[in-house]
Amino acid sequence: MHYLPVPDYHMHTPRCNHAKGSVRDYADAAIKLDLNEIGISDHSPMPGGFDKDWRMHQSEMASYLSEIEQTRDALAEQLVVRVGLEADFHPGTEDYVSNMIASYPWDYVIGSVHYIGDWGFDNPDCMDEWKDRDINKAYCAYFELVGQSARSGLFDIIGHPDLIKKFGHRADPDNALVKAAEEAMLQAVLQSGAALEISSAGLRKPVKEIYPHNRIVQRAAELHIPFSFGSDAHSPAEVGRDMDACLATLQSFGITEIASFEQRSMTMRALSHA
């Protein structure tokens, strides 16, 4: 089954120090899968020393952009290649991110929360801290930050919106505070007009589940929040991975369209399969 009109908007390059393959390799992988559109979204520079080992340095931005542009232009007949970025949302860095976004005509910018305070909760090296954390409270703090990321108005796509579950730590699904935090996050996304990312990456992580959870997909569908798809590929072999499973999930909740982006303007496309 091929879902030709669905773009994969989340993939990385070796500049972030934890991905492999050239932009051309990612594009070639997409063409082999009969995709007609991808977007590159490497981890952006961030100010100060924020998480510097896991992202490109400011000095690599020019080569990042020119590599994408060259591949885009070389493959123009075969594949649409969008120029994107995965920026972190981290309170206090908004001005830096805003300036970075203003400095280039991006097709879209994904906003992702990978830190609660100075705790890199999705970093395998920071796993120990989970032992000292109340899981319900961690979920609440996480969803509050994702909501803030939407309210910042900086982002076109809200990335992997329940990444907090990556290692399989589960909040109590009936906890009223967690449920309220989840709802507040979705209301913020709705107000912002951003798309919510459905990501297959969670299937490759200990949690072995799509981001976000079905309950969030269902509620987002009720609210008519648009979705975009991302594999979060860190190697060319991961491009388009489990797109079918993500689209089946969306369709099971009555969703019939998927978001596409050009120059930061969103267009919805009908989900159809051949």
Torsion on CA atoms 60, 61, 66, 71, rounded to nearest 10: 90
Q: Cα–Cα distance between 274 and 258 in angstroms, integer?
A: 16
Q: Between 75 and 243, name the residue whose CB sits nearer to Zn ion.
A: 243
Q: Between 107 and 232, name the residue whose CB sits nearer to Zn ion.
A: 232
The least distance separating Zn ion from the CB of residue 10, rounded to whole angstroms, comes to 6
8 binds, among Zn ion, Fe ion, none (CB under 5 to 8 A by kind): none
The least distance separating Zn ion from the CB of residue 227, rounded to whole angstroms, comes to 16
The least distance separating Zn ion from the CB of residue 162, rounded to whole angstroms, comes to 13
DSSP 207-272: T-SPBSPHHHHHHHHHTT--EEEE--BSSGGGTTTTHHHHHHHHHHTT--EEEEEETTEEEEEE--
Query: Which residue is closest to Fe ion by CB?
Result: 112
Phi, psi at 196, each rounded to 5°: -95, 135
Question: Which pairing describes strands 80-88 and 108-112: parallel, antiparallel, or unpaired?
Answer: parallel
162 binds, among Fe ion, Zn ion, none (CB under 5 to 8 A by kind): none
Where does this chain bind Zn ion (CB under 5 A)? 232
Query: Which residue is closest to Zn ion by CB?
Result: 232
The least distance separating Zn ion from the CB of residue 12, rounded to whole angstroms, comes to 5
Q: Between 179 and 228, name the residue whose CB sits nearer to Zn ion.
A: 228
Q: Between 86 and 179, name the residue whose CB sits nearer to Fe ion.
A: 86
Q: Between 54 and 130, name the residue whose CB sits nearer to Fe ion.
A: 54
Q: C-alpha distances in angstroms, 33 versus 19, 73, 243?
A: 20, 20, 11
Where does this chain bind Fe ion (CB under 5 A)? 86, 112, 232
Helices (H), the chain: 23-32, 61-74, 94-102, 135-151, 176-192, 214-222, 243-252
The least distance separating Zn ion from the CB of residue 53, rounded to whole angstroms, comes to 11
42 binds, among Zn ion, Fe ion, none (CB under 5 to 8 A by kind): none
Tokens 């994969």 belong to residue:
8
The least distance separating Fe ion from the CB of residue 156, rounded to whole angstroms, comes to 15
Q: Between 163 and 179, name the residue whose CB sits nearer to Fe ion.
A: 163
Question: Which pairing describes strands 257-262 and 265-270: parallel, antiparallel, or unpaired?
Answer: antiparallel
238 binds, among Fe ion, Zn ion, none (CB under 5 to 8 A by kind): none
